[in-house]
Amino acid sequence: MKYDEIPSDLFINNRVRLASRLPEGALSVVHSADLPWRCADGTMPFIQNSDLFYLSGIDQEETVLLLFPGHPDPSMREVLFVRETSELITIWEGHKVTLEEAMAISGIRTVKWTSEFDSLFRKLIREAETVWLNHNEHARSGAPVNFSLDDRFRRLCQERYAGYRYERLAPVLQRLRAEKSEIEIALVQRACDITAQGFDRLLRFVKPGVMEYEIEAELIHEFVRHGSRGFAYQPIIASGGNACILHYVINDQPCKDGDLLLLDVAAEYANYNSDLTRTIPVNGKYTPRQRAVYDAVHRILRLCIDELIVPGKPMREVYHKEVARATEDELIALGLLDADVVERERAEDDLPEEKRAYRKYFMHGVSHSLGLDVHDVTPAENEFIEDMIVTVEPGIYLPDEGFGIRLENDIVVKSGGNIDLMAHIPIDADEIEALMAGA
């Protein structure tokens, strides 16, 4: 792996926390991700199932984790299954984890080959009172049913062992994964630090005439050389009016003199992700109008980090509405909204947010959870919790004026004051102009 060894304490503690939330007699199973096929005999890069990695640290296909916390035999309370290797596999694919290596990575003492799973599971399920099976229950997931190994196993298991009582593991894991440990926070910080190095490289590279894809190439070079697998998500490198396309990923246009360049680009590290957005002037200098809008977005971002995000606050019902009202005030000051229209809308409590005038200029959410997934799992109560990592990403988009501005930092939610994991990455407009001028 490109990343440094992660202490097994992380995965041991994650399993202990999960076991404490399962009832007596519970048996749970989590599978690795599939090796994703592309076409013909080609595959795409393997990315581990986040839940499996969270509980075991094994970054390899054909892995299964079986947890039976209340089993009378201690050796059966945690059983990890990994793919059996061979001389032929080593020649064609390279090294696969041995039983001893899997034990050291995960902290699990009972490790077997994956081929032994079926027979052991058939024995243990007869001793279980409930079977807890996993499924991707992310609210925004569009994956089809029976898409993953977890999905296929759930269907097979319920057909083969129809008389058993089944429970959903995902809600329990979602609540656990939302609250990050110190090791996880450090891993996300490492991803942010690699992202910072990429952004620093860009400030010295961007100039009129550079192609968007050339900027993408500079970033991937910097990310990989510092131990990242690469981009945490498909990069958005949007110059001029392209910035008003929220998920612009073509990245094939020239950066023109006088344009702004919106960069939604970030690195992953050890399967943990960062998420950065900056908007910089292609020629190194914001126009007065660009600067006014930029400073408005920056003020909203600081308001969120310094005042609005606190543990226990509902995200949709309260936080997003608070940000919306602050955005309305900024849009009025910029001459984009009529104060009387905004006042009438605020008096209509039942007016849906998507119908309000500000949505013409700011049409997306402000924060999402971050971790093993870029849009990480969120607690069912949908509120900020202590040690949750979230993004803060306000924006204002002006297609009629040919530019859009979004800024984004990643923070750890803390009752004593949030920790900005990207505080070291330049964001102040004066600092960005000075750095680009120096380059």
Of 116, 7, 101, 9, give the one whose Cα is nearest residue 62: 116
Residues 6+ apart with CB under 8 A from 405: 243, 260, 262, 279, 290, 293, 294, 297, 395, 396, 397
Catalytic residue (one of 216, 408, 410, 433): 408
Catalytic residue chosen out of the listed positions 264, 268, 328, 376: 264
Residue 247: active-site member: yes
Please pick, among 62, 150, 151, 275, the residue that the annotation labels catalytic: 275
| 289 flagged as catalytic | no
**Which residues 6+ apart lie within 8 Å of 360 measured at CB?**
none
Rounded-to-integer distance, Cα 10 and Cα 22, Å: 19
Quote the CA–CA distance of 372 and 177 in Å, as a whole number.
9
Q: Which residue out of 268, 393, 410, 433 is catalytically annotated?
A: 393
Annotated catalytic residue, options 126, 247, 289, 316: 247
Catalytic site includes residue 41: yes
Cβ contact 315:383 at 8 Å? yes
Q: Which backbone phi and psi does 106 adopt, to 5 degrees?
A: -90, -25
Burial class of residue 178 in the structure, from the number of CB atoms within 10 Å of its CB (0-12 exposed, 13-18 middle, 19+ buried): buried
Q: Is residue 408 flagged as an active site residue?
A: yes
The catalytic residue among 319, 406, 410, 433 is 406
What is the distance between the alpha carbons of residues 143 and 121, in angstroms, rounded to a whole number? 27
Indicate if 275 belongs to the active site.
yes
Q: Which of 24, 38, 41, 165 is catalytic?
A: 41
Active site residue 364: yes
Give the angle 266-10-54 at the CA atoms, nearest 5°. 60
Which residue among the candidates 61, 294, 397, 410 is catalytic per the annotation?
A: 397
Q: For tokens 């990050």, what's the residue?
A: 180
Partners of residue 272 on adjacent β-strands: 269
Q: Does 264 qualify as catalytic in the annotation?
A: yes
- Is 375 catalytic? The answer is yes
Query: Closest by alpha carbon to 212, among 237, 175, 182, 186?
Result: 237
Active-site residue, from 319, 368, 376, 420: 368
Q: How far apart are the first and last CA of the chain?
A: 34
Catalytic member of 322, 375, 386, 387: 375
Q: Report d(CA 109, CA 434) in Å as an integer.
A: 55
How far, in Å, CA of 304 to CA of 327, rounded?
A: 11
Q: How many other C-beta atoms are found inside a 10 Å radius of the C-beta of residue 130?
A: 15
Dihedral angle of Cα 367, 243, 187, 34, to the nearest 10 degrees: 90
Q: Which of 364, 381, 428, 431 is catalytic?
A: 364
Q: Assess contact for 338 and 356: CB atoms under 8 A.
A: no
Active-site positions read: 41, 247, 264, 275, 364, 368, 375, 393, 397, 406, 408
